[in-house]
Amino acid sequence: MMKRISLITFLLTLLSLTSFGQKYPKDWENPRMIERNKLEAHATLYPFQDTQTALTMDREKSPRYQSLNGIWKFDFVTKAEDATTDFAKKGFDASGWDNIPVPSSWEMKGYGTPIYTNVTYPFPAKPPYILRDNPVGSYIRDFTIPENWKNRDVILHFGGVSSAMYVWVNGQKVGYSQGSRLPAEFDITDYLVPGKNRVAVQVYRWSDGSYLEDQDHWRMSGIHREVYLVAQPKVNIYDLAVRTDLDAAYKDAELQIRPRLKVPDDTDPKGWTFNAQLYDEQGNKVNNGEMSISVNHILHESVPQHDNVPFALLKAHITNPVKWSAENPYLYTLVVTLKDADGNVVDATSTHVGFRKVEWNHGVFKVNGRPVKLYGVNRHDHSEVNGKAITRKEMLEDVLLMKRFNLNAVRTSHYPNDPYFYDMCDKYGIYVLDETDLETHGLTGYFTNNTAWTYAFVDRAVRMVERDKNHPAIIGWSLGNESGVGPNHAAMAGWIRSYDPTRFIHYEGAQGDPTSPDYIPVTSKDYWKKPYDANPTDRQWVDVISRMYPSPSSLEGLARSPWIHRPIVMCEYAHSMGNSTGDLKKYWEVIRSHPNLMGGFIWDWIDQGILEKDKNGKSYWAYGGDFGDKPNDGNFCINGIVAPDRTAKPALWECKHVFQPISVSPVDLKNLDFTVVNRQDFTGLEPYTLKWSLRENGVEVQHGIIATPACAPGENARFHVPVDQAKLKKDAEYVLNLSWDLTKKNLWANAGFEIAWNEFILPGHEVKPAAVVSGKATATENGNHITLSGKNFTVVVDKAKGAISSYKINGKEQFVSSLKPSFWRVPTDNDQAGGNHIFRDMRVWKDAVANMTLQSATIDENQSGVVCTYTLPVDASTLKVHYLVEGDGTLHVSADVMKGENAPDLPRFGFTMEVPGTLTETAYYGKGPWENYWDRKSGAKLALYQTPTSELQYKYARPQENGNRSDVRWFALTGKNGGLMVRAEPKVDFSVWPYTAADLEQAKHIDEVPVRDFYTVHIDYRQLGVGGDDTWSAQAIAHPPYRLSAKSYQYGFTIRPVKSIAQAEKLY
């Protein structure tokens, strides 16, 4: 059976290469030469000697497995023309070569240059040719074959090699492969000798396959995934395909099994059997008796003329199995054996099985009969120290972080991941959209419409599906990314649909069905009037409608479209570059309002920064261009919701809250009656403990636990919170926090881990304004300065600058530099987006304070205040500033800005100053503890926080606006000798940096930002939201509700000295 398939493949390949051999003399510049002697794809399986060992699924316990990971000998040349194959000869002395770890990306080990580019190919595009120097890495590894492997087939497995390679064993050429993100396997049995053997590999950085791998990530090279050997008996289980189906009630299941066996022609399998046994998580047998089928029945299966063969060669009815879902990822283990005529186990292997059914009918995506939303993220393979060669520890860390932050889905953008990642998604519960290693962005649809590339397109799809078909976590197959649309994609879809009808087919590029009455050609001027609404009826060979980066309003339009009858998914949205991911909650208000919206995948998971050190030993994260790489796309690879070191960025906390599976809203807030909505699809609220906490002015004063209300998935329930309201003060602010914590430890978090929370400000309570301390002040005017002085204070107002140039209490200067108005912020990546004309228009505000003109300066009647009015150089806008000093030296600051008729929006409206670096502790009552902004503060709690002042910032890989805290009632910065308290009237935003705005704006990397001996403090009415629908168009700007677009704004605050944070807390 195997030989018959291999012969057909060989003949087709031979015919296709007859005319191409002369036209394309180099294998790595020949689109139809994608392999020589490479074995057919199959599921990830490991051979075991018996059922018991196979049940463990631990390959390290198998005597038929041998890892070749570790140190290899390595030689590197920068040009393919300088590479020779002499090293592959028997007896070659490689003792003078370097050592390199495998797996690794050789650029991360000092060989060649990492290149980051998004769309542009890293070489001049003239397919299939590589028109630039093509570096080559040559590898050697010696290994010893165990004695008990004699008379077995030995398979050499490469998990991933970028981008093309030749393989030799003991001086004999074994084969060739290309395709960077899928395994290549070779049967090396006939090349082996007893004892020590040698494998030699020559890897080309670029090949014609690189034209199909134009993804937005670091271009790196080498053997970047694991290498190992397996020994198989001559008659073996070559492949295993498993499906599950559920009945109409989604209760009972059918387990369906299709093996593929390798049986040599000279072997008579009469009396041999293939057997299967299912086990639960406790190791108990599930089905009654072992399933069995004769090997001859498998080998001589009849293929009908007018129908395909049924999938199942073996099947079993399973009564009410535990269903697999992301919420309850229950895994059974299927052990299959091959027994000879005497009943001896010749071969055994195993795979996990999750009983689940995926459906997408009537425009709704369902799992096990329940509508499911995808709280997803796009994920690239990336390690800050290893590049594309990520470790199992890093893969597990990714999955655990996703679970802990309420994400339930991942798109493997834009290539298949290592099998271990899928294992972890199976185990911990993450839905996976598995994507083909295919992107031709730089030449758009050229390749999909070219028959010379059909073989390569289909092969990449086939190998992905064959390898990953048994993972229950995989819910859909994606045909790649940004590669145009054409017959080659249709061919991929056709093969997948016939082979695996149990999962949906996805391809964002399949937009527009020419047979549809609403079809608008992309070349039409009408198409770009509404590009997100145009052609919603995609090609019929995709099962879901996929879009990138629609605005919430465009998404709403798609959901309401009468033409769309398929589920809709955002394969990319919320571009999280730098300080971003604003108004995520708006997307989810829309998604939760429409059953046909599946959800989406945020772009993307991890900042692809590479950890480097500058000449002074300071660490920073490098991005495109930092290695002299050309072409490059700069920091466009820095757009994750986790940092390169896999720590949570502030945006991830917003995701956790917006995505939380439980939400509470008030029914009667005054009487503390609430409704809980269980957003989960399969789980009640029983696993959670409902805790409540009441904070008075930010400090907890009451708390308790409430009996968890009964609430089925998708339903709601009411409950009451027993706050003792008799103890509440009229003149304090009370915030009620409701938290849902794990009652017991689960696979990915400990007991007590917070899953979801909501908080509410109780009505009928309000903090009174601070009492004014009366006292006498004296005002003197001297040129541009007005001095307000009293018993223990002196305040100097610089009329020309609208600033407090000096603020002394008991003769001690409180500021390092003036307190002055501020309208500008250091631009974020979204602010600097190429198409963001809205922020470009705001640049006129950058120097508005420096260039404003004094209109008047008036001293108060009681000599304790000054009012200054200015004309701003922005369409005749005006600014009025009022400084007032109380008897104890407390400084009142208020400001009014009136924008001119045609003035653009304000980037910010506030004041800034510099204070001594000795103020090392900060406390604040506001949103925290992490950075938050006007349009990204849902995931921050209103409470009293205390932190080292030096830790209030967030270090984005490319320095930009950071560290803001919203809805702040008061904050204080103190040191050993006291400090300053700022009290809002009633709320402000604030940030504190150990550097200036100019320092931040000039720096390109975090190591370039100096640490000053003072802190820059911003006290804002507000600043522009962070935005981030994308980072290249006008949609990069914050949504309209989070812009300073009004014609006028007014706000105020007070500043006063305090001895300690405790005193500041009492003064509020």
**Beta-sheet pairing, 474-478 with 504-506:** parallel
CB atoms < 10 A from the CB of 936, how many? 30
Report, in angstroms and rounded to the nearest whole number, the Rg of the chain calculated over CA atoms.
Answer: 33
Instruction: Kindly report the backbone phi and psi dihedral angles of residue 489, in degrees, each rounded to the nearest multiple of 5, phi listed first.
Output: -70, -40
Ordered by start, the domain boundaries in the chain are 27-232, 238-357, 373-656, 660-761, 819-853+891-1067
Predicted pLDDT at 512: 85
The yes or no reply on domain 660-761 and CATH 3.40.50.460 is no
Token digits for 674? 């609430």
How many other C-beta atoms are found inside a 10 Å radius of the C-beta of residue 563?
Answer: 14
Tell me the per-residue pLDDT of 918-976, one tens digit each, with 9 for 90 and over: 999 999 999 999 999 999 999 999 999 999 999 999 999 999 999 999 999 999 999 99
What is the model's pLDDT at position 960? 98
Q: Which two tokens stand for residue 707?
A: 């009996």
d(CA 512, CA 539): 6
Please tell me the predicted confidence (pLDDT) of residue 861.
80
Give the confidence band of 369 by pLDDT, cuts at 50, 70, 90. Answer: very high
Task: Give the residue-averaged pLDDT of 448-466.
Answer: 98
Query: Looking at the predicted structure, is the pLDDT value of residue 8 above 50?
Result: no
Q: Can you read off the two tokens belonging to residue 693?
A: 């906490």
Alpha-carbon distance of 400 to 402, in angstroms, equals 5
**Which one is the CATH code of 819-853+891-1067: 3.40.190.10, 3.30.420.40, 3.40.50.920, 2.70.98.10?**
2.70.98.10
Reported as type and span, the H/E element at residue 25 is none
In 3D space, the residue among 1005, 1010, 1007, 1041 whose CA is nearest the CA of residue 1024 turns out to be: 1041
CB 389 within 8 A of CB 383: yes
SS3 content of the chain, % helix, strand, coil (to 5): 20, 35, 45
Distance CA 823, CA 841 (A): 13
- Do 868 and 854 meet the contact criterion of CB atoms below 8 Å apart? yes
- CB contact at 8 A, 139 and 201: yes
Question: Of 12-26, 68-82, 562-576, 882-896, which gets the smallest average pLDDT?
Answer: 12-26
State the chain's mean pLDDT as an integer. Answer: 95
In this predicted structure, which of 115-119, 313-317, 531-535, 776-780 has the lowest mean pLDDT?
A: 531-535
- The predicted structure's pLDDT at residue 16: 46
Q: Which amino acid is at 348?
A: A
Over the stretch 477-536, which tens digit does the pLDDT of each residue have?
Answer: 999 999 999 999 999 999 999 999 999 999 999 998 888 777 888 888 887 776 666 677
Structure confidence at residue 27 (pLDDT): 97
Q: Do domains 238-357 and 660-761 have the same CATH topology?
A: yes
Segment among 4-13, 96-105, 648-657 with least mean pLDDT: 4-13
What class, spelled out in words, does domain 27-232 have in CATH? Answer: mainly beta
Lookup: tokens for 839: 């922020």
| CB-based burial label for 933 (10 Å; 0-12, 13-18, 19+) | buried
Q: How confident is the model at residue 147 (pLDDT cuts 50, 70, 90)?
A: very high
How are strands ordered across the β-sheet holding 136-144?
Answer: 35-36, 172-178, 164-169, 196-204, 136-144, 70-77, 98-102
Confidence of residue 18 (pLDDT cuts 50, 70, 90): very low
Query: How many beta carbons lie within 10 A of that of residue 5, not counting itself?
Result: 11
Active-site positions read 482, 572
Query: 297-301, 516-520, 994-998 — which is least confidently predicted?
Result: 516-520
How far, in Å, CA of 256 to CA of 253, rounded? 10
Instruction: Give the pLDDT confidence score for residue 17 in this predicted structure.
Output: 44
Bridge partners, 368 (sequence order): none
| Domain topology for 373-656 | TIM Barrel (3.20.20)
Q: What pLDDT does 4 receive?
A: 37
pLDDT score of 15 more than 60: no
Which segments of 814-852 are extended strands (E)? 817-822
In the chain, the amino acid numbered 827 is P
pLDDT score at 520: 84
Which alpha helices (H) appear in 505-583, and where do they start and end? 552-560
Lowest-confidence pick of 421-425, 461-465, 558-562: 558-562
What confidence score (pLDDT) does residue 22 get?
Answer: 57
- For the structural domain made of 238-357, what CATH number should be given? 2.60.40.10
Angle, vertex CA 809, rays to CA 792 and CA 865, nearest 5: 75
Is the bond into 687 cis (omega within 30 degrees of 0)? no
What pLDDT score does 771 carry? 74
Lowest average pLDDT, out of 167-181, 388-402, 768-782, 850-864, goes to: 768-782
Q: Is 719:704 a contact under the CB 8 Å cutoff?
A: no
Residue 664: which residues within 8 A CB-CB, separation 6 or more?
Answer: 674, 675, 676, 677, 738, 758
How far is Cα 805 from Cα 797, in angstroms, rounded to an integer? 6
732 SS3 class: coil
Q: What percent of the chain has pLDDT above 90? A: 91
Q: Which amino acid is at 1039?
A: H
**pLDDT: which is higher, 287 or 676:** 676
pLDDT at residue number 615: 95
Residue 26, classified by CB atoms within 10 Å of its CB into exposed (0-12), middle (13-18) or buried (19+), is middle
C-alpha distance across the termini of the chain, in Å: 82
Give residue-wise pLDDT tens across range 780-813.
Answer: 999 999 999 998 899 999 999 999 999 999 999 9
Name which of 545, 248, 504, 506 is nearest 369 in CA terms: 248
Alpha-carbon span 244 to 255, nearest angstrom: 5
Strand partners, 158: 184, 227
Amino acid (1-letter code) at residue 939: G
At residue 140, the pLDDT reads 98
The stretch 746-762 carries a mean pLDDT of 98
Please tell me the pTM assigned to this model: 0.95
